[in-house]
Every structure is written in C-alpha cells, then in structure tokens.
Structure 1
Amino acid sequence: MKETAKSSLLFSFAARRPWLVLAIALVLSVLSLWLTSQRMEFLTGRDDLMPRNTAFNRDYQAFRAEFGSMEDIVVVIEGQDPERVGAFGTRLHDVLAKDRAHFSDVFYPYALPFFRDNGLLFMPLEDIKELRRNLTLAAPFLRALSAKPSVQTLFTHLTGSMDQYLAGDEKKLPEIMFMLDKLGAGFTSFGTGKGSVPSMESVFMNKDSAFARAGRQQILTALPVRDISGFVPAGAAIAVVRGEVARLKALPEFKGVTVGLTGTPVLENEEMATSEKDITLATVVSLALTTVLLLFAFRGVLNVAAAMVSLLVAISVSFGFATVAVGHLNILSMVFAVMLIGIGIEYGIQVVLRYQEELRRGAPELPALETGLTRNVWAIVMAAATVAAAFLTFVFTDFRGISELGIIAAGGVVICVLVTFTVLPAMLVLLVRYRKKPSPVKGSIEMEDRLLSRIVFGNPKIVIGLTALLCLASLYPLSRVSFDYNLMNLQAKGLESVNYAYKLMKSKENSGYFAVVMAKDAEDARAKTARLEALPTVDHVVSINTLVPDHQAEKLAELEAVRRELADVKPAPYEEDLSLMELPRVFEAFRNSSVKVKERLEKERRPEAKQAAAFVATLDKFFAGLEKERDRNAVGMLQDFQGGMFRDLPAKIEMLKQSLAAKPVTEADVPKELRSRFVGKTGKLMLQVAPKKEIFNREPLEAFLKDVRSVDAHATGEPVMVYESMTIMRDSYRLAFIYAFAAIVGILLVAFRSVKFALIGLVPLVVGLLFMVSGMWIFGISFNSANIIVMPLVLGIAVDSGIYIINRYRREEGSAGSVILSSTGVGVLLNTLTIMASFGALMVARHQGVFSIGAVMSLGMVACQVAFMVTLPAVLTLAAKK
C-alpha cells in the first residue's frame, strides 16, 4: 500500500540516521523553548478572550472611551464602629493616593469634605426623623455626660430618671425605656466578656438604617497602573494594597476592622495565580502518572524512556509553534500542554505495543519495529486527523480565546504525529543494543486470546440489547444536565475576592455589579432614571443627579431641630477613671431602680413591662459575668465597656454636630473628584443601574438586562459583557461540536472508504457521549464555560479508539474480540488511561473550572472506552462479518 511504502521510507531514514534525527529534534526543542521564553506573552484579562467586532463590545468600548477604565481594585472595609472604619479608610486612602507609580486614581468618598459635611442629607427622610426622635430622647443623658463621660455618670443619671418616674413623673418613661433598650443590646453582646464592645453611636441611630449600614461597610477603589509585561499586570498594585492593609490592621486603633479585596483586577489576579499553580501541579502529576502507566504497560524502562523523550520533544516544539503562530497564551489556551501529554503519547503507544507484540511472536528487532510503525501509520494519521479537526473547529467560532486554543492545540497534535514517526523510531533503534530479546510465545498467546474472546465477547446480541436499554435510560439525564453560567463558580472555593464580590452584590449601598446606561444630558438622565427605577428588576439608579439629595427642605428642618437640641451638649475629654470604690453602690442603686420600674409596669399591666423585665434579666447576666471575673478580668471588662461607650464620644458628638450644620446642596457643589466619575469627556452622563436581586446566575441576569435594554438598547457594563460573552462561548462550543462531528464523519469515510464501517465507528461514539452525560448527572456536574470545551474534544479523541480497532479488524485475521485482546486493544485501553491521567490530573486544581475540565473529560473517556471496548466488538461481530 502507498502509506506503507512511505512509512517504510520514513522508518529507513530514522533507522539509518538516528543520531541526526535526535540532533535535529534537540536543536528544534531548545530553539522553541528559547523563543517561548523570549516572546511568549500571557493575556490575563477576560476581554482578551472575547470577540472584538460585536455590537455589545462596541458599546462597551464607547463607554470606556467616554469614562475611562473602571476596572478598579475594590477594598471593602467593615466594622461595627463606623468611625473606626472611616479612619481606616482615610489612612489607607492617604497612603495609596501618594503612590502614583502603582495607582492612577484612588477614590474614597469619606475622604471628601462633601460627604462629611452633607452626609446626613443623603439619608432617607424617615431615617432622619428617627435620628431626631432618638437624639431628643437621649439629649438629657448626653448633657449629663458632658461633665464626665463615664459608667458612673450614665448609671447614676439613669437611676435618677427612674426614681423621678417612680415618684410620679410619667414624662420620664419614654427616655428611660429608650436608654434601657440601647443598654440592653450592649449588655447582651458584652456580658460574657467575649462580645463586641457597645458604642454610644447606637444611641444616635438605628443599626439597621441605610446610613448606619453604609458606615459599617465602606468602599475604597484604586485604579491600578498595569504592567503589561508581567504575567499579572495589576499584581504589583494589588501587592501594595495588601501590604498597606496588613500594616494598618496590625495597629491597635483598628481592632475589629475587617478588610477584603475584590474587583476585576483582583479576581483576574487570583484566577491566573491559582490557575498557574494548578496547571503546573497538574503537568507534573500528569507526567508522573503517564510514566507509571507506561512502565506498567511496556514492562521495561527503555521503551518508556523513548516514548517520554519523544513526548517532551513534541511539547517543547509545540510551545515554539504557539509562540510563532499566536504569540500569547490566555486562561483557556494555557492548558494545552497538559492536554498534549495524554493526546501526544497516544500515537507512540500504538507503535511501541505493536513493536513489542511482534517481538513476542519471534520477529527480529528492526523488522518488528518497522511493522509497529508501518502497520499503524494510516490509523495514527486518521486518529490524529480527528483530534486536530476537533481542535480546528474552534477556529470557526466567534470567541477569540477558543479560536486561539484551537490553532495551538491542532498544531501540537500534528507535531506529536511527526515526532512519533521520526524521534520515537530513532530512539528505539538506538536502544536496540540494550534490550534483551524476548522468547517467542506465539501459540500460547493466540490460545489465550481465543479463550478470552469467547468468554468476554461471545454474546454480541445481549451486549447490544443492554447497550440499547442504557442509551434509552440516558435520555432522562440528557434532559436534566444544565449549563452553569455563574463565572464565580469557576473560581477556587474560599477566595477572598469571590466572597467579597458576593457580599457587595447583596449590599444595596455598595453594589459593585451594575449595568451602565449613558444619557446625553441632565433631562435625558432624569427621564431614563424614572423609567429604569420603575422596572421590576431594578433596585435603584446612581448618577450625578443622586449626588444632589432629595427632600432637602424637610431634611434640613429636621437637622436644625436636632442641632438646637444638642447645642448645649459639649462632652468633656474622656478620662479612663473607673472610680472602683463607687461602682458597687452605683450598680446596686441602678439595679434596684430597674427592678422597681419593672414591678410597677407589671402591676399596671403596661406594654413596656415585658421590655423592662427583659432588661433586668440581661442586667443580671451582665453583673453575674462581672462577679465571675471578679478576681481575674472584671476591671478589664469594665474598662473596655466604659472605653467603648465614651472614649470616642467627644469626637463623635463633634462630627455629628458638623453634619447637623449641613447647607443646601446643588449640582455645582458636587466635588470634581466625584463629578468626573459620572460626567464623561464629552459631557455624557453615566447611570449606574443596580439590580434588585443577585444576578450572577443566568435567569435573573437575563431578566435584568431585558428590562434595562427596554430603556436603552445600548446599555453596557460588566453584567452585559458577562451575559453576551457567555452566550457567544456557549454557542461557539455548540457550533464547534457540530463541526467536529461533521469532520469526524468525513474522516471516517476517508479512513475506511466504506459508509458501513464509518457508521459502525459512530455508534460507540454516540453511546459513549450518552453515558458521559449520564455520569455528569449522577455526580452532579453541570456544564460551564470551562468544561464545555470537552465536548468536541471527546468526539475527536474517543473516536481514535474506533479507528485503531476497525483498522486492525479489517486488515488482519481474527475476530473483533481478538482485536480487543491484541496489542491494538491494549493500546486503546492504555491511550484512554494516559488521556485520563493528563486530563484527570487537572482534578488536583483548586480552580473549579480547571477541575471540572478534568472531571468531565475523565468521565467522557471512561464512558467512551466502555462503548468502544464492549459495544463496538459486538456491532462488528453482527454487522461486519468477514
């Protein structure tokens, strides 16, 4: 045959000039690795994966041209004490804002006098009215504390108020119950000595108010200067932020403040860092597992050494090809080396196993090696063609990252085949002198093969019947397996950036995941805002208009009333003096009065009785905790309690008074730093549209974008980019699957020159795919934007088994079962195991997307292997009798 003659010629060259072949391979490998180290780039952004010339991408680029990049490092600062949180944010802002080498813009709203002076005006009117009610009730106690802010003063004044109420002053009851409620909450959290220290700030404001929540969770953003030459462009800036955060958190004044980083640069940084470690580890694991499998299968070191050297040469040259053909790797294409370990070794396995089979049958070394090569060349070329075709189908998709992976991996497959036909035989020829010639065992082998063939493959009809039943059962899982569109589910579990991204999504005050609509002027912005906020999926809209508070006249009137109420409240500087000798008497008097108030309210059956009883119970637990710690830490507990209540009281009162002196705000008062974030270079206005519900999953995201686009068809932002890119990725892989299937049908027709055998080769492939999907359903695995790459690959890789089996079945004597038990069948099994080793090694990854690629590919190979090793022989036996 023509292919046999050509392969014999190729073998003759490798056999006569093995050192020359290896020298050329060495030069190419070294040159490829050097070229890769000098020119290969890594693209870490998700934008680098996406198609450029699409309507949604043009909208996004137009938005960025108007407003600049919004890919900020987001620092989330949280704590129970807003003042402490604010102080932390201010300190961090002051340091980062000076570092122009790493940050082009640093923004922290609470660092602006605009918010310090006018912050209360941004509270809802009802919250301001509640603030007035609270401070009116607390004002008598704050006046008493002006002289000496301490536990004794607070309890003594409360005792006096309760005594006045017991003496008949009913007007005292509202302020008494108000203060008991606030103190009770503090005692509950602090009574054991392990809870958080209470704060007088809880007296001013309801802890669940929007203003209080915003104070407890504050956001600082920093736009990093990207180093495009680095593996992670924002890595240096992120490291600076983390270092400064760690330094500030170690300071005692920021005890209780928690800080986390998120935002696109941080998510990408952690994704790339995790993926790099995962893929490096997976590569090592894959090479180790492949080596062990080959040692077991080849039963000797020499053939394993030849196969592994050939594989390393192929991977090295493939890196050079990737550098020349594409010039960079992305988050998708960087896994191609791991893929080639299993795919590339497949061709060498077929050659070596047939070579060993011929040796066992008594053939001389070189003729046995020539047979191993020439009898497999057509099957290897066709098998490689199916895999390369599966990868090349990626090129015809609209997704840039997928297309580049297709080019690199397809080129790698071709290189693996060329190395199998040149470097591998050259290595085997050189190692002939070191190999002991095995004794011929032809008769025993054939007898064992026939016996096993009858036992295992003697009932083809039963096999086909069971396969048909299982395929019918697989139709249900096929309808149940879903596609997970949530990109956060691809990240490693427990990553700080992912946890804080979810946290911000659920925060109405600081949601960082919003759609963007642009307006041409203020009137257009007001009209669009009204329409957007009327939509069922939209929570609120933030724009330059929202930076001018609403209902200012009513709010200013309320604040002025509070300012007058607190005009004579001027706390003295705090002194940490517990006056320990007085405390027992103060506490006893306070408890006695509390009990009397409770008893009177119960006697009169007042609604406040239950609240008073609950306070007395809480107070007794607090005192019991102090008594328990009397000889150890009671004084420390009281110092912490008093300090938490009064240490920062003077500063907080002054800040409150500053906010109470707010003046009417107009758009002209909005500072430049804030205005520039909502007004573009040409005067367009940005509307940030926050969703009402979490939109990481497909259905709520689709509903949200449908609503927003009903107002503006050119709406953009991160949610739009994620939705559209995921849609294109899903559709691209579906298209690639169809292309791959069509290509495989064509290759099988060429390979077998028979419609019947082409159809026979497709039967176990379809069976295997159904079994794979069933396995995913059983193990609770969904398709996602990472593992969907497996579908066209399973087609291309799995069908190789059919090509090898059918090719030998048609060429040589023996039953279909004997082919499975021959070196070809062993090779097919070993191919599957090595591919499972390479892809399965990805399951060591923390990155859930990389893990899922390994899991789905392993399931696919197991499922297809069962179909090709069991179902295919049965089909051949019944449908293709010789």
Structure 2
Amino acid sequence: MDYILNFLRPVLRYNYNHPKFTVTWAILISIVAVFFATRLQVDTDIANLLPSTHPSVVALETLQERVGGETEMQVVIHSPSFEDNLRFAEAIIPRSMELTDPRNGLPFFSRYEFIKEVDILKDYALYLATDAELDELIWFLEDEIEDAKLEANPFFVDFEDDWDDDEEDESRGRAFEDLYSELIPDRYPISPDSTSMLLRFIPTGSRSDLSFLRSLFREYDALIAEMNPAGFNPEMQVMAGGRLKRHLMEIDSIMDDVINSFSTGIGSVLLMVLIYFFWKTFINYKRGPESERRKGFFSHVKRAPVPVALIGVPLIISLLVTFGITALVLESLNTMTSVLFVILFGLGIDYGIHFYARYLEKRTSGESVVEALESTYASSGRAIMTSAITTAIALFVLIYADFRGFSEFGFISGLGIVLAYLSMMYLLPAFIVLFERFNWILINSNTAPEPIVRKAPKRYPFARTTVAVGAIIIIFVLFNTEKLNFEYNFSELEPAFPEFEAFRELSREAEGSSSERRNPAYVVADSYEDVDLILSALRNLRAESGEETLILEFEALQERFPINEQAEQHKLSRLAEVRELLNDPFLRDQQDEGLDRLRRAAQATEPLDFALLPDFLTQRFVTRDGEIGQFVMIYPNVSLGDGRNSIAFKQEIGQIEVADGRVFTSASTSLVAASMLMLMTDESFIMVTATFLMIMLMMYFSFRSFRWTLISMLPLVVGLSWLFFVMIIFGLSFNFYNLVTLPAILGIGNDNGVHLASRYREEGPKSMWNVLSSTGQHISIGSFTTMLGFAGLLFTMHPGLYSIGLLAVIGIGLTLLAALTFLPALIQVMEDRNWITFD
C-alpha cells in the first residue's frame, strides 16, 4: 500500500499546487459523462440477467424470432347489460384503430381481436381433436352403447354397483365437453355471466419504447373519457390495461423509487455530514487559543454547508463519470443496479469523511494547509486505500459471475468505489486548497500537548461480558444455519399496483382461456418429423415421471391439424369410426344435446383448408411470418409463480432428448427465470467465498501480519453472524434481489475493522479507547452515511428493492456495532493476557 501511495503522491502535490486547473478539468469531464449517463434506461427483462449464450436465453430468442412475442393491450368493458357492452365495443373499436400518436401521426394499433368466428368449427370440431382425445371419445361412445343395450334387455338385473365405471364414463364425457368449449368458445370474449367483455389491440410500437407506451395509454384514456361509457350504461366501467400497462407501471414505479431513494438517501447523508462537521469544526475552533477566536457562532452557521459542498461535489463528479462509463459499457441498468447512484453516494462519501475529518485534526493541531494535506495523506491514506481497494475488489469479484445481476452490480459499484476513492484522495485536496484561499474553512490552532482529550477510562468496560454475548450469538447461528431461508415466490417480490389488480378483477373471467393452461414452454423444431420425435419423447417422459410429473399436457399443430395427405386420411378414418358409433341403433334415436353436438362435429368427410380456420384458433400455431409453426407447447400443472416449481418444471422438460440422441431446449420466460434462480443460487456461495478470501488476502497484503489481518476482519465476521442471527429470529429471508448485497456487505463492513486496527496499531497498546473517540467517530459517521444511502430503498414500493435496503442497513449496522463493541472488548481481554504484540 505504501508503494502505491508514494507512487501517486506527485498527483496529490500537483492537484493542490494547481487547484483551479484540476477542478476545471474535473468539471468538464463530468459534463461529458452526463451526456452519456442520461441515456441509461432501466431494463426489467429477467432474460437479460443471464448470459446471452445461456441455452435458455438462446432458446427464448429463437422462439421470439420464429413465433414472435407481441404484447397486447386489453380493454375491459363491464356493466350489467351485455347489449350495452356490445354497443360500446362496436363504437370504440373503429375509433381505436384511427387513434394516432401525436408525436409522429402514426397509428397506435396494427390490428384488433374481438368477434370469434366459430361456425365452421361446429362442423369440424372433431377434425381438430387429437388421437388421444378421439380415443377417449370412442371409448365413451362404446360404453354408452353397451349401457343402452343392457338397459334395453328386460331380463337384465344390475347386481354390481360399479361406481368407478360410472365416474370414468362421466370423466370421458366431460373431457369432450371441455374440448368442445376450448375449440368452440363463445362468439364474444365475455365472462360466464355476460357482464364483462374483453377487447384486444396489438400495438405498432415496442414494449421497450416507454415514450410510445406513455403516449398510447394517455391518448387511450382520453378516448375512453371522450366516449362517455356512462352514456351507454350508468354502471359501465371501461379500463385499458393488461400486462403491457403493468410493464409501464413497473418501469415508472422503479424510476419513482430511484428518485425518491435519491432524494431521501442523499438528503439524509448530506444532512448528517453537515451536522457532524459543523459540530466537529465548532468544537475544534473553541478548543483553540481564545485570542484567535475571531469568528462567532453565526460565522460557523454560515459555513455549515461548506463540508457538504467540499465533499459532495468531488463525489458527484466521480459518480457521473461512473455512470457515463456504465452507459458506454453496459448501455442499460437492471432492476438491481438502478438504485446504485444513491448507494454509491453513501459508500463513496466515507472516504471524504475520513480524509477531511483527519485534515481538520491536523489543521487544528497547528499544521499549514499543505502540511495537513501531506500528513493526512500519509497517516490516513493507507487505511483509506486499504478500505477502498478491499471494497472495490470484493465487488469486482462479482464481475466473474455469469448471473448478470451479480456481474453488473459488481462492475458498477466496484468502478464507483475506485473513482470515489481517487476523487476523495486527489480531487478533494484541490477543493480544500480553493476553499482555504477564500477563508471558507474556519480553523483555530490548538496548541495543547495532547490532540486527543482522554475523558474516559483506558479500559473498555464489560469486556468479558461483551465477548461472551457475541460468542454465544455466533454459536447459535452456527447451529441454526438451516433456518436461513430463500424466498422463491416471485409474487412476493413484485410491487402491487391497485389499478392493475382492479383491471384483472374485471377482465379475468372474460379472458376466455383455461386457468389450468397457462405459462406454456415451447420447444422449437426444424421440421415436422422433429416435432413427432419431440412429442414421442414427451409421452415417454411423462410416463416415466408418473404421478410426480409437472406436465399437464402438451400439444403441437400436427396433433390437431393434419399437415399431409396421409395424416388427413387417417383423421377422416377416425371420424368415420365416431360416425359409425353415433349411428348405432342404440344411440341414433337418443335426443341429447351433447350427442347432437357430436353428430355435427363429426360430419367432416373432406380435409379442411387451414386458411379457413379462424385466427383466434390458429394464432398460437402460426409463426411471425404467417407460416404453420413447427413447435410443441408444454403446459405445467403447477403455478410457476413459485420459483421452486419453475426450477422443477425446467429440470423435467428443460432439455428434451429425442430418439436419435439430439437434444432440444425448451423456452419460456418462466424457464429463463428458473435458470436465473439456479445460476444465482449456485454462484452466490462461490461469490461470497471468493469475496471473503480476496478481502483476507488484501488485509494480509496491507498489514503484513496474519494476526492483524484477523483482528481487522473480526467486525466483519462477527457482524455478519449477527446479521444471520437477526434474520433467523425475525424470519427475514434472502431473495433474488437482496442476495447481491451479501458480497457488498462483506466489502463495506470490512472498512470499520481496517480503520480501527490501523489506528490502534499506529497509537500502540492501551490506546483503543482513545482510538474510538477519534477514528470511532469517523467510522460511525461513515457507516451511518452508507446505511442512509441504502435506507432510501426502505421507502420504495418495490418489495425486492426494499429487501436490498433492509438487509444492507441491518448488515452494515451490525458490522459497525461489532467494530465498536466486540473488537475493542476482545482487544481489552487480549491486552489483559498480553496476547497482542505490535511487531
């Protein structure tokens, strides 16, 4: 460390000898950085948190290229009258299609979906049934015929009450009813009670174009108001929304959270800095000779903002450069890194606090500006550099993670720490020189022989008790690590939007899709032959898994719609079997609504032209280019909102090996989320371990002593164990968001031990109490400012961001508590036994 400090000393001297030039260039560089930093946007797509080469990401990109991924805007119309809802729908659809973006005059929508043409399907419903569904139907009809024969026999007596057979027959009958309802839905997208109606519009713009989305919903809300729904029905409610609007809400919510955390966090940090240095400079000024006290209390009040500007401006310059570089390298922020500006502000200001506080002590002791800067650089420079380098390296370790939530967090925060350190060590002195020239810093030399007044006893009180309590907590954690939990439920980590929930409440029953068939995974093939192989592999996979399978069902177009002449003839022959059964004398004359539907649905004797099928039925089987798709859809039988279910579903169907040995990768956003969770949980232990080892290595490199390395790291280890204790007691969990704070706490929490150990080693034996009265103040203010930076997240709406702030505030606070209590107490116990040497 000394070599690096001496190597960079000429930079320090140049900057305080040419302060105007240095400050001017720093401001110009920050202006250029602002130009790039303002281009940063927040990307909430979880697929972008995985490496672009990850199989799940590659599969999802292939799916989107071939199949597409349009996000629709939905409009729900709700009133007690179906006729009034229909009149409003027919009135607003043409107005919607004419609606244009005032920014460029282009239409907002490319097409819409409303009325479903179902007449042709009533004649071809069974033509679109799969072989398995036709098998079930044929068995059902055969059983019906057998039952009818037995009932027609006057000598038949049912001696067996076979409930299982009855239940099986009913199940098969319901299966056809469900199939018929799915293939031939209501003509209009309405709820079962006909009170809610749903319209779908496909936007012309991208969901990533936030300006487009804001303009779209602003103009559409104005259109709804202009249409006056109450004029159609006094109780009518009309809302535009859906997933597209929720996406916009989430982005806006995060941006609001960033602004709120920025104002709350940075405001609190600056207020603390102002109060601390006002108190420190005023006390130091009053300690000096009375003959030199030319300034009164009001002069101190006027200069109270000076330390804020003195430390804050260089720090902001470093952060602007940090995010300017981020814009060039990463181009965007993710949800985790979106709040790093305020976090880095709280982190980076620590170095300025340590440097400026020690500088004031040196100036108060009678040193000139240059002498105070040089001696501060020499005395505190090592501890500040050690602290900054260990924190930066601890964060830079995350860059090597494949999970981009870790790697991008590590890159930005590590870079921010390095630039904040350089700014505070080499740019801050230039500002100090300028402020001294204008006499904005009040200094009154204190000629007392002892710069530190010893008001307290030398011994640390209750040392043994403090060590014992701390050790008991550590032992408790070691025996209860299994109680540390991870939150897998994504819904618990997403913000709740009342407007979106209100929309879902109205639209849920009118959406028209089965609640059981959601979140399908897609397997994209290169040919129809490959699709057949994939279907066969899935059948075998489900059979092998048995009752433990998470596969509800799977489907491909060629299972429902014949794609060649051979398949067409096979399907027509199966329909002939059904017609033959329906013409059986024992069923032919039965008057039953279900049988009547079957008779009409089985009439097809000629192949059906695919072009005649309605769009609502074919759209999930057609590619972006309008061609018949070559892919398989796999539906889960569990909710994938729980990450554990997503992981289990991915483990079952993520890789499909077909008969010829080839492997196909399934794709969906839920599978990407599962991959992300698996990667993150796998890498978290590695990242935390690597971070800890790097910190230990840097400590050893700085102190050149294994003993002092352990002493300096004690607050970190003890504070981290106390954090786990609090999590166990209060039921706090790690999650997808806050897990990234663990390596950050390691890097940040180590600062306190570094500064205390360095100063204690410098002062010598029996000096810890005096060290606490000086350096203890500095690390307390430094930790508090860092905690306040994170505390801004406690006022956010986003549960994930809130959890980052909560875990960081508790973790950093407990490492500080360990530094101020456990470390001094342990040193006191060790001094009593002569276990500490200062070699």
- The question of a shared fold, defined as TM-score above 0.5 by the shorter chain, is answered with yes
1:331 matches 2:311? no
Name the aligned partner's letter for residue 698 of structure 1. Answer: G
> What is aligned with 1:699?
644
What is the rounded CA distance, in whole Å, between the counterparts of 2:780 and 2:83 in structure 1? 66
For structure 2, list consecutive stretches of 5 or more residues without a partner in the other structure. 101-105, 135-185, 279-303, 562-570, 658-663
Q: Alpha-carbon deviations, 1:795-826, whole Å to 9, x = none?
A: 11110111111111112235352354243211
Q: Please report how far the alpha carbon of residue 312 of structure 1 lies from its aligned counterpart in structure 2 after TM superposition.
A: 1.7
> What is aligned with 1:59?
59
Q: Alpha-carbon deviations, 1:698-749, whole Å to 9, x = none?
A: 2333344444458676322222121112222333333322221121111111
* Equivalent pair of 1:342/1:839 in contact (CA under 8 Å): yes
* Equivalent pair of 2:41/2:332 in contact (CA under 8 Å): yes
What is the rounded CA distance, in whole Å, between the counterparts of 2:237 and 2:559 in structure 1? 29
1:261 matches 2:241? yes
1:880 matches 2:836? yes
- SS of the residue 2:335 aligns to: coil
**Residues 80 and 471 (structure 1), Cα distance of their counterparts in 2 relative to 1, 3 Å cut:** farther
- SS of the residue 2:725 aligns to: helix
> What is aligned with 1:69?
69
Map 1:301-380 onto structure 2 (within 5 A). 301-380=305-384
* Equivalent pair of 1:85/1:257 in contact (CA under 8 Å): no
**Residues 233 and 660 (structure 1), Cα distance of their counterparts in 2 relative to 1, 3 Å cut:** farther
1:741 matches 2:692? yes
> What is aligned with 1:791?
742
Q: Please report how far the alpha carbon of residue 790 of structure 1 lies from its aligned counterpart in structure 2 after TM superposition.
A: 0.4
Name the aligned partner's letter for residue 46 of structure 2. Answer: R
**Pairing partner for 1:295 from 274, 278, 283:** 274
1:413 matches 2:417? yes
Q: Please report how far the alpha carbon of residue 410 of structure 1 lies from its aligned counterpart in structure 2 after TM superposition.
A: 1.8
> What is aligned with 1:14?
15
Q: Please report how far the alpha carbon of residue 67 of structure 1 lies from its aligned counterpart in structure 2 after TM superposition.
A: 1.1
- SS of the residue 2:358 aligns to: helix
> What is aligned with 1:724?
675
Q: Please report how far the alpha carbon of residue 70 of structure 1 lies from its aligned counterpart in structure 2 after TM superposition.
A: 4.4
Name the aligned partner's letter for residue 294 of structure 1. Answer: V
- SS of the residue 1:715 aligns to: strand
1:278 matches 2:284? no
Q: Alpha-carbon deviations, 1:93-126, whole Å to 9, x = none?
A: 555556695667545363445599789999999x
**Pairing partner for 1:762 from 713, 723, 747:** 713
* Equivalent pair of 1:395/1:404 in contact (CA under 8 Å): yes
Name the aligned partner's letter for residue 490 of structure 2. Answer: L
Q: Please report how far the alpha carbon of residue 413 of structure 1 lies from its aligned counterpart in structure 2 after TM superposition.
A: 1.4
Q: Please report how far the alpha carbon of residue 415 of structure 1 lies from its aligned counterpart in structure 2 after TM superposition.
A: 1.1
Name the aligned partner's letter for residue 473 of structure 1. Answer: F
What is the rounded CA distance, in whole Å, between the counterparts of 1:32 and 1:377 in structure 2? 28
* Equivalent pair of 2:557/2:629 in contact (CA under 8 Å): no
* Equivalent pair of 2:783/2:812 in contact (CA under 8 Å): yes
What is the rounded CA distance, in whole Å, between the counterparts of 2:77 and 2:483 in structure 1? 42
> What is aligned with 1:592?
none
Map 1:191-202 onto structure 2 (within 5 A). none
Q: Alpha-carbon deviations, 1:160-203, whole Å to 9, x = none?
A: xxxxxxxxxxxxxxxxxxxxxxxxxxxxxxxxxxxxxxxxxxxx
* Equivalent pair of 2:47/2:57 in contact (CA under 8 Å): no
Map 1:236-247 onto structure 2 (within 5 A). 236-239=215-218
Q: Please report how far the alpha carbon of residue 475 of structure 1 lies from its aligned counterpart in structure 2 after TM superposition.
A: 3.5
* Equivalent pair of 1:120/1:660 in contact (CA under 8 Å): no
**Residues 273 and 660 (structure 1), Cα distance of their counterparts in 2 relative to 1, 3 Å cut:** farther
Name the aligned partner's letter for residue 390 of structure 2. Answer: T
Name the aligned partner's letter for residue 241 of structure 2. Answer: L
What is the rounded CA distance, in whole Å, between the counterparts of 1:726 and 1:91 in structure 2? 47
> What is aligned with 2:170?
none
Q: Please report how far the alpha carbon of residue 845 of structure 1 lies from its aligned counterpart in structure 2 after TM superposition.
A: 0.7
Q: Alpha-carbon deviations, 1:452-491, whole Å to 9, x = none?
A: 543xx24433322211101122346632232223333222
- SS of the residue 2:665 aligns to: coil
**Pairing partner for 2:115 from 110, 114, 117:** 110
Q: Please report how far the alpha carbon of residue 52 of structure 1 lies from its aligned counterpart in structure 2 after TM superposition.
A: 1.0
**Residues 4 and 743 (structure 1), Cα distance of their counterparts in 2 relative to 1, 3 Å cut:** closer
Q: Please report how far the alpha carbon of residue 835 of structure 1 lies from its aligned counterpart in structure 2 after TM superposition.
A: 0.4
* Equivalent pair of 1:538/1:689 in contact (CA under 8 Å): yes
**Pairing partner for 2:495 from 492, 495, 506:** 492
**Residues 761 and 297 (structure 1), Cα distance of their counterparts in 2 relative to 1, 3 Å cut:** same
What is the rounded CA distance, in whole Å, between the counterparts of 1:558 and 1:737 in structure 2? 73
**Pairing partner for 1:460 from 439, 449, 463:** 463
**Residues 725 and 4 (structure 1), Cα distance of their counterparts in 2 relative to 1, 3 Å cut:** closer
1:830 matches 2:781? yes
* Equivalent pair of 1:471/1:771 in contact (CA under 8 Å): yes
Name the aligned partner's letter for residue 726 of structure 2. Answer: G
Q: Alpha-carbon deviations, 1:566-625, whole Å to 9, x = none?
A: xxxxxxxxxxxxxxxxxxxxxxxxxxxxxxxxxxxxxxxxxxxxxxxxxxxxxxxxxxxx
Map 1:594-673 onto structure 2 (within 5 A). 668=609, 669-672=612-615
What is the rounded CA distance, in whole Å, between the counterparts of 2:588 and 2:550 in structure 1? 33
- SS of the residue 1:329 aligns to: strand
**Structure 1 vs Structure 2: percent identity of aligned residues?**
21
1:402 matches 2:421? no
The size of the alignment, in residue pairs, is: 704
Name the aligned partner's letter for residue 697 of structure 1. Answer: D
> What is aligned with 2:386?
382
* Equivalent pair of 1:93/1:106 in contact (CA under 8 Å): no
Which deviates further from its counterpart, 105-114 or 386-395? 105-114
* Equivalent pair of 1:761/1:802 in contact (CA under 8 Å): yes
CA-atom RMSD, angstroms? 4.4
- SS of the residue 1:677 aligns to: helix
What is the rounded CA distance, in whole Å, between the counterparts of 1:259 and 1:107 in structure 2? 16
**Residues 40 and 717 (structure 1), Cα distance of their counterparts in 2 relative to 1, 3 Å cut:** closer
Map 1:843-882 onto structure 2 (within 5 A). 843-877=794-828, 878=830, 879-882=835-838
Which deviates further from its counterpart, 19-28 or 677-686? 677-686
Q: Alpha-carbon deviations, 1:63-101, whole Å to 9, x = none?
A: 223212244445566666666666666666555556695
**Residues 333 and 540 (structure 1), Cα distance of their counterparts in 2 relative to 1, 3 Å cut:** same
What is the rounded CA distance, in whole Å, between the counterparts of 1:110 and 1:446 in structure 2? 84
**Residues 106 and 365 (structure 1), Cα distance of their counterparts in 2 relative to 1, 3 Å cut:** same
State TM-score, norm by structure 1: 0.70
What is the rounded CA distance, in whole Å, between the counterparts of 1:736 and 1:380 in structure 2? 24
| Bigger CA radius of gyration | 1
Name the aligned partner's letter for residue 108 of structure 1. Answer: E
What is the rounded CA distance, in whole Å, between the counterparts of 2:33 and 2:368 in structure 1? 37
* Equivalent pair of 2:242/2:504 in contact (CA under 8 Å): yes
Name the aligned partner's letter for residue 406 of structure 2. Answer: I
Q: Please report how far the alpha carbon of residue 335 of structure 1 lies from its aligned counterpart in structure 2 after TM superposition.
A: 1.9
**Residues 526 and 745 (structure 1), Cα distance of their counterparts in 2 relative to 1, 3 Å cut:** closer
What is the rounded CA distance, in whole Å, between the counterparts of 2:338 and 2:217 in structure 1? 23
Q: Alpha-carbon deviations, 1:753-797, whole Å to 9, x = none?
A: 111111222332121111112223344432121111100000111
1:448 matches 2:454? yes
Q: Please report how far the alpha carbon of residue 277 of structure 1 lies from its aligned counterpart in structure 2 after TM superposition.
A: 0.8
What is the rounded CA distance, in whole Å, between the counterparts of 2:223 and 2:582 in structure 1? 39
What is the rounded CA distance, in whole Å, between the counterparts of 2:827 and 2:77 in structure 1? 67
**Residues 268 and 752 (structure 1), Cα distance of their counterparts in 2 relative to 1, 3 Å cut:** farther
What is the rounded CA distance, in whole Å, between the counterparts of 1:758 and 1:93 in structure 2? 72
> What is aligned with 1:537?
550
Q: Alpha-carbon deviations, 1:284-337, whole Å to 9, x = none?
A: 112211111111211143223211122222222222222333333333332221
